[in-house]
Structure 1
Amino acid sequence: MLSKISSHWRLLRTLAKNPKFWLVLCGDAVLVVLAHYLAYAIRFDSMLHGPVFGQFTGVLPLILAVKLPTFYLFGLYRGMWRYTSLNDIVHIALATVFSSALVILLLLFGAHFLGFSRSVFILDGIFTFGCISCHRMLIRFVCQRMANGAEGFRTAEPVEQKRLLLVGAGDAAARLLRELSENSRLPYKAVGLVDDDPGKTGMKLFNVPVLGMIEDIGEHARRARAQEILIATVIIDKAKMRRIVGLCQRTQLPFKVLPTMGELINGQVSIRTIRDISFKDLLGREEVRLEQDRIGRYLTGKTVLITGAGGSIGSELCRQLLRFSPALIVLFDASEENLYNVQMELRHEHEEVRSVAILGKVQDLRLLNAVFRQHRPAVVFHTAAYKHVPLVERNPWQAVYNNIFGTQLLMEAAIVHGAERFVLVSTDKAVRPTNVMGASKRVTELLMLAYNSSCWDGAFSPAWQRMQDEVPADMAPLVPSRHATRFMGVRFGNVLGSSGSVVPLFKRQIEKGGPVTVTHPEVTRYFMSAEEAAQLILQSGSMGEGGEIFILRMGEPVKIADMARELIRLTGREPDSEIEIRFVGLRAGEKLYEELITEGEGIVDTHHEKIMVLRGETMPSSSMLSGQLDHLAEQAHALDSRGIKETLRRIVPEYQPDFTV
């Protein structure tokens, strides 16, 4: 109670120094008096004299003494009045009802309400609400007009505005139209809307007419002389999105789309967030439901380490983490450029979040030990890996060093320094792998199972013993015999736009006029956006008790040839005629179809509709794996490609290596 009183007192002292507060307060006082006068005037037919006038003047001090403090307590003087919203109007209504009821109660107990008219106080409440609401809206109107006028005065040349036709007449369109109406300096002018609901035709939204149905968008665009189209609606059905995109393409006008809620960290839709349409919009993925409280319990206020922080998944994890307010984000990456980019993004766009950048490789044990020793991360997200299938197939020793031994050392560092959770990001290529990359990721899944506290036998890699012998005693890590770190993996397919995705390659080929090279007419892959993948990784991390491999529901697989055709159409050209699609054959280690589970594995649903979990997994011991990993290390050191593949097949029996490469 004392703290609340102290807080209000500090706020009052701050407000008292603001001249605008006194102007608004005096304005409210005048309006409260006016509202009460109007109530008496209507009730007594404008005749305020004699006893009626005396009663009016007698009750005014009570009205002012109750209503103005009530307005303060309900927060009516804390907002920025130039941004008055519906939420502020609701607060005005609540404050008016409460203060009117309090006045009536005081008169009832003080004077038994003798001689007072009940209708006066009902009218008083209505007029008070109307006057105060109009006062706030007038302030907002004047401030916006002044701001627009000032901008116009500063700019000699008027802003050239494109005539914008909006697809959709719902909440998202309303937010955009409100923004356009409030800021005349934006480079767009809305000239109409189209919608699939025939009942909206002829209606207006912020004085912009709904012209008709989406099906007739070409005719409406011509009549409205539109110069650009914006798809301003949330569409989760891919068939509907493809239909709308097709209709927009026929108009031969440029068109853009609003980002999905997953892309918007703060959830704020704005005209500044619109972007060109991309293939992920055509996937029609549903918005991810996140259990915010559950995720916050293991992330809020914690130090979080992300390896591969500059990559597509790692950088998106950094962005999605922001809403959960971690104490510190440790950015770990071997790529200087990627690390710099994500560091600058966090530093300049999200200044409220602390971060530190570590340039290095996960197989550098001394660096890992120093980072864990200094920052003590509670949660580790391991996204760093070599993932280009053909490159790794021809350089398999790098998969051994980076994907396998780097992951092993990172897991052991998490155990030594007491991390609470370790989330391994895996891939669908680990399922019945036909390439070294997939086999190496399957080995990391086995390591994750072996190091989980429920079956760990205390074995560590020889690298830790060597480091203990090399560093000073006070700096040597203490290798425990038991631990409480929860290890879990998350397995999913391809991420659109990632460094290993075909989408950037296809875009470059289309820009050059083709041909677009596809490996095989029937090759299919699972796809999801980086935003969706990162959100589901965070969700999975909150669900793991240790030793689980979570599988993300990827939806239907997509034919790569169909994807290439869609990307060509998005540029306004026709596949096969204007841009050639050339089939070049499967590359080393590739297969036609990817899978998310191995034959013999069982999956069960979780309480989250987009996440499943494997069951029936055998739990290998770290001691059992260590001998095979020793052989793998020798073969990697000797650059023995065939030997590496043979050892990987012994560790992962379902692996089908290609010895021709």
Structure 2
Amino acid sequence: MISAYRTYIWLAVDLAAVGIGAAAAAALQQQHAAVPWGTAAWLVYIGLSAAIGLGAIVKLGLHRTIWQYAGALDMLTVLQAAAASALLPYLAVVLIPGDSEPLMLFHHFAFTVFFMAGPRLIWRSFCDKYGSRRGHNGRRRALIVGAGSCGTLVARELMQNDASNLMPVGFIDDDPYKRKLSVMGLPVFGARADIPKAAEANRIDEIIIAMPSVSKSQISAIVNICKTTKARLKIVPDLQDIIRGGGAVGRVRDVQVEDLLGRDPIRTDLENIANYVEGKTVLVTGAGGSIGSELCRQIAPFRPSRLLLLGHGENSIYTIEMEMRSKFPELQIETLIADIQDRPRMEEIFQLKRPEVVFHAAAHKHVPLMERNPAEAIKNNVFGTRNVAECADKYGAERFVLISTDKAVNPTSVMGTTKRIAEMFIQSLDKHSETKFVAVRFGNVLGSRGSVIPRFKQQIEQGGPVTVTHPEMVRYFMTIPEAVQLVIQAGAFARGGEVFILDMGKPVKIYDLAVDLIRLSGYEPHVDIDIRFTGIREGEKLYEELLTSEEGLTSTKHDRIFIGKPSQINRTELEFEIRKLEKVIGNDPDEIRAVLKHLVPTYRNVS
């Protein structure tokens, strides 16, 4: 009912505006007009203008616009209605009889726009200035980085949404033409370098980065500046998300560690990937894990004829199966519960399913846990890989891609050593096989199960302390989707026997990561949340490496993928050493480590 009354009120206002505009124009032209003011011709002119204006208003829906949220297109509608109400009566009453007064048309149009737009602008200004200030008490003060279209959209939503607990107080923008000006009545405090000063001077509680179109490296640079303030950080991640989500504020999220890496989107050679995946039967081992499940998500769009999801844990396989069936209903998906250590089961799967492309992601990866259970690491990472690889060779798979780790380089852990043996085994197998065997080596992935980020987040939620092993501990980090995208791309470059090394960017101190996570959560390190050093765990080293001493680095067509020169490995000797490993598998851990050392001379036991 209120909405209907509001519509009728605006209709009456517009009708009056059209009539007053015509009368004002007539009065201004009275002394020059051929027909004196007050005659029937002028009354017909004003009446005709009102009738045509009313029709234009109704036709254009001008009376139904909510002017509190109106934009440039709505003002264009006002101009269209004013033009119709001025031009048509002018042609009918003035021009047809031959009494042409060009200024009459201009004045009529100008007066009509003034009387139609004026009330709307006054109402809009009133709503922006006073209506949005209801409930200011208790609202957190927000600084918006980016005074462009996205930033102003966020500011408008925050100002007009009484349910929001944020109130924008100003903008930051690098555009020199915007500095010391105001946008939507809010000042532009300066460029990104002025963020700390503006945040302190204006008692900012939250900073919203509203620059979804800039590169990730720029976002990272802005985030690093914002970290020096005490404000909590939020970000509008993607303009397409706003379009799909129907609002800017609803898409604002907390700044995450991934945003700190500053790595721009990966350039992908879609054609080459499609050439070896499309129409093929693809097997992913460890499909329920962090890397394996993401492999499934990213392989599916390339339209394999069949996607085989193999895993040991039924719950994780069920979860990824349900997700894949929901997202890709047309894709033929098969789930296989199996242990890669079970050779007869692997033979059965390869014989029946005949996978053409194999991504081997199944592995034990937790370093300290594998130090305490070396036999299990060997059985899974060495013997399990051997089973899958030999079956791939025996049953004619075209490609086999092993997911490896930087911990395989000059390893100090059982886990890293077993992954290095797995690399060596597939390289030796490649020399005598029609299957192209390759390994892809990369560092830590953010957010994977058992990794440092989830543990830090849990400790922060519990109020601390956050535990770091050593103040100088350094690791390479990459997001899971980024790592998997590069793994699939590396598969397209496979010629056989290569170890592909992914560009991991700059190494990150684990301590700095902990500090960043605490600050991003809105706390002050060592004040609100303490950080404690617990000492290096068994099998760990301070710095990870990506290349062994015998591996040179060769570039590929992709700027983030490199090739380590294949090692000279004698398959007969390697298989002999692996059989020795089989014999000592149930023996004392020190005896197991001695055999590992013989297999991988660069292995140093630091436990």
For the residues of structure 2 that align with 1:224 and 1:432, how far apart are their CA atoms? Answer: 50
Q: Which residue of 2 aligns with 1:655?
A: 603
Cα distance, 1:536 vs structure 2: 0.6
1:582 aligns with 2:535: no
Distance 1:406 1:564, change over 3 A: same
For the residues of structure 2 that align with 1:635 and 1:600, how far apart are their CA atoms? Answer: 29
Cα distance, 1:246 vs structure 2: 2.7
For the residues of structure 1 that align with 2:165 and 2:274, how far apart are their CA atoms? Answer: 39
1:417 aligns with 2:395: yes
**C-alpha contact (below 8 Å) 2:499/2:566 kept by paired residues:** no
What's the CA shift string for 1:559-594, capped at 9, x where partnerless?
Answer: 111111111111111112222111111111111111
Q: Which residue of 2 aligns with 1:240?
A: 221
Distance 1:287 1:270, change over 3 A: farther
| Equivalent residue letter for 1:407 | T
For the residues of structure 2 that align with 1:259 and 1:335, how far apart are their CA atoms? Answer: 35
Distance 1:569 1:599, change over 3 A: same
Of the structure 1 ranges 590-599 and 353-362, higher mean CA displacement relative to structure 2 is found in: 353-362
**C-alpha contact (below 8 Å) 2:471/2:533 kept by paired residues:** yes
**C-alpha contact (below 8 Å) 1:193/1:208 kept by paired residues:** no
What's the CA shift string for 1:25-64, capped at 9, x where partnerless?
Answer: xxxxxxxxxxxxxxxxxxxxxxxxxxxxxxxxxxxxxxxx
Distance 1:646 1:204, change over 3 A: same
Considering only aligned residues, what root-mean-square deviation do their CA atoms show, in Å? 3.7
Cα distance, 1:260 vs structure 2: 11
Residue in structure 1 matching 2:340, options 355, 362, 385:
362
Distance 1:369 1:260, change over 3 A: farther
| Equivalent residue letter for 1:229 | I
1:630 aligns with 2:579: yes
What's the CA shift string for 1:67-98, capped at 9, x where partnerless?
Answer: xxxxxxxxxxxxxxxxxxxxxxxxxxxxxxxx
What's the CA shift string for 1:610-653, capped at 9, x where partnerless?
Answer: 111112521331x32222111111211x2431221111111111
Of the structure 1 ranges 426-435 and 493-502, higher mean CA displacement relative to structure 2 is found in: 493-502
Within-5 A mapping of 1:243-262: 243-246=224-227, 250=230, 252=231, 255-258=234-237
Cα distance, 1:228 vs structure 2: 7.5
Distance 1:391 1:243, change over 3 A: closer
Aligned length in residues: 460
Answer with 1 or 2: which has the greater Rg. 2
Q: Which residue of 2 aligns with 1:343?
A: 321
Q: Which residue of 1 aligns with 2:503?
A: 553
**C-alpha contact (below 8 Å) 1:434/1:655 kept by paired residues:** yes
**C-alpha contact (below 8 Å) 2:234/2:252 kept by paired residues:** no
1:298 aligns with 2:271: no
For the residues of structure 2 that align with 1:260 and 1:556, how far apart are their CA atoms? Answer: 28
| Equivalent residue letter for 1:589 | G
For the residues of structure 2 that align with 1:574 and 1:351, how far apart are their CA atoms? Answer: 47
Q: Secondary structure at the match of 2:217?
A: coil
What's the CA shift string for 1:392-419, capped at 9, x where partnerless?
Answer: 0110010111000100000011112211
Q: Which residue of 1 aligns with 2:297?
A: 319
Of the structure 1 ranges 195-204 and 220-229, higher mean CA displacement relative to structure 2 is found in: 220-229
Residue ranges of structure 1 left out of the alignment (5+ in a row): 1-160, 457-482
Q: Which residue of 2 aligns with 1:642?
A: 590
**C-alpha contact (below 8 Å) 2:371/2:414 kept by paired residues:** yes
**C-alpha contact (below 8 Å) 1:241/1:281 kept by paired residues:** no
For the residues of structure 1 that align with 2:484 and 2:349, how far apart are their CA atoms? Answer: 24
For the residues of structure 2 that align with 1:598 and 1:431, how far apart are their CA atoms? Answer: 5
Q: Which residue of 2 aligns with 1:396?
A: 374
For the residues of structure 2 that align with 1:415 and 1:200, how far apart are their CA atoms? Answer: 64
Distance 1:180 1:330, change over 3 A: farther
What's the CA shift string for 1:148-171, capped at 9, x where partnerless?
Answer: xxxxxxxxxxxxx99987533568
**C-alpha contact (below 8 Å) 2:436/2:494 kept by paired residues:** yes
Q: Which residue of 1 aligns with 2:456?
A: 506
Q: Which residue of 2 aligns with 1:379?
A: 357
| Equivalent residue letter for 1:236 | S
Residue in structure 1 matching 2:494, options 541, 544, 551:
544
Distance 1:414 1:574, change over 3 A: same
| Equivalent residue letter for 1:410 | V
Cα distance, 1:326 vs structure 2: 2.1
Cα distance, 1:372 vs structure 2: 2.2
Cα distance, 1:438 vs structure 2: 0.5
| Equivalent residue letter for 2:221 | K
Cα distance, 1:221 vs structure 2: 12
Distance 1:315 1:269, change over 3 A: farther
Distance 1:569 1:308, change over 3 A: same
Distance 1:200 1:305, change over 3 A: farther
Distance 1:318 1:223, change over 3 A: same
**TM-score where L is the length of structure 2:** 0.68
Within-5 A mapping of 1:127-166: none
For the residues of structure 2 that align with 1:208 and 1:539, how far apart are their CA atoms? Answer: 49
What's the CA shift string for 1:247-270, capped at 9, x where partnerless?
Answer: 7x54x4662341699xx9x99998
Residue ranges of structure 2 left out of the alignment (5+ in a row): 1-138
Q: Which residue of 2 aligns with 1:6?
A: none
Q: Secondary structure at the match of 1:418?
A: coil
For the residues of structure 2 that align with 1:270 and 1:413, how far apart are their CA atoms? Answer: 52
Q: Which residue of 1 aligns with 2:443?
A: 493
1:615 aligns with 2:565: yes
For the residues of structure 1 that align with 2:180 and 2:497, how far apart are their CA atoms? Answer: 59
**C-alpha contact (below 8 Å) 1:169/1:210 kept by paired residues:** no
Seq. identity, %: 43
Q: Secondary structure at the match of 1:426?
A: strand
Cα distance, 1:339 vs structure 2: 1.6
Q: Secondary structure at the match of 1:236?
A: helix
Cα distance, 1:535 vs structure 2: 0.8
Cα distance, 1:439 vs structure 2: 0.5
Distance 1:420 1:570, change over 3 A: same
For the residues of structure 1 that align with 2:543 and 2:291, how far apart are their CA atoms? Answer: 23
Distance 1:545 1:173, change over 3 A: farther
**C-alpha contact (below 8 Å) 1:379/1:421 kept by paired residues:** yes
**C-alpha contact (below 8 Å) 2:501/2:562 kept by paired residues:** yes
Distance 1:269 1:345, change over 3 A: farther
Distance 1:288 1:204, change over 3 A: farther
Q: Secondary structure at the match of 2:500?
A: strand
Distance 1:201 1:341, change over 3 A: farther
For the residues of structure 2 that align with 1:617 and 1:163, how far apart are their CA atoms? Answer: 59
**C-alpha contact (below 8 Å) 2:189/2:198 kept by paired residues:** no
Q: Which residue of 2 aligns with 1:525?
A: 475
For the residues of structure 1 that align with 2:246 and 2:482, how far apart are their CA atoms? Answer: 18
Cα distance, 1:337 vs structure 2: 2.5
Residue in structure 1 matching 2:307, options 318, 329, 342:
329
Within-5 A mapping of 1:170-249: 194-199=172-177, 211=188, 213=190, 215=192, 229-233=208-212, 234=214, 235-237=216-218, 240-246=221-227
Cα distance, 1:377 vs structure 2: 1.7
For the residues of structure 2 that align with 1:220 and 1:227, how far apart are their CA atoms? Answer: 9
| Equivalent residue letter for 1:524 | V
For the residues of structure 1 that align with 2:384 and 2:157, how far apart are their CA atoms? Answer: 51
For the residues of structure 1 that align with 2:237 and 2:395, how far apart are their CA atoms? Answer: 44
For the residues of structure 1 that align with 2:391 and 2:244, how far apart are their CA atoms? Answer: 36
For the residues of structure 2 that align with 1:320 and 1:503, how far apart are their CA atoms? Answer: 23
Cα distance, 1:223 vs structure 2: 9.3
For the residues of structure 1 that align with 2:190 and 2:331, how far apart are their CA atoms? Answer: 45
Distance 1:652 1:572, change over 3 A: same
1:599 aligns with 2:576: no
For the residues of structure 2 that align with 1:188 and 1:296, how far apart are their CA atoms? Answer: 47
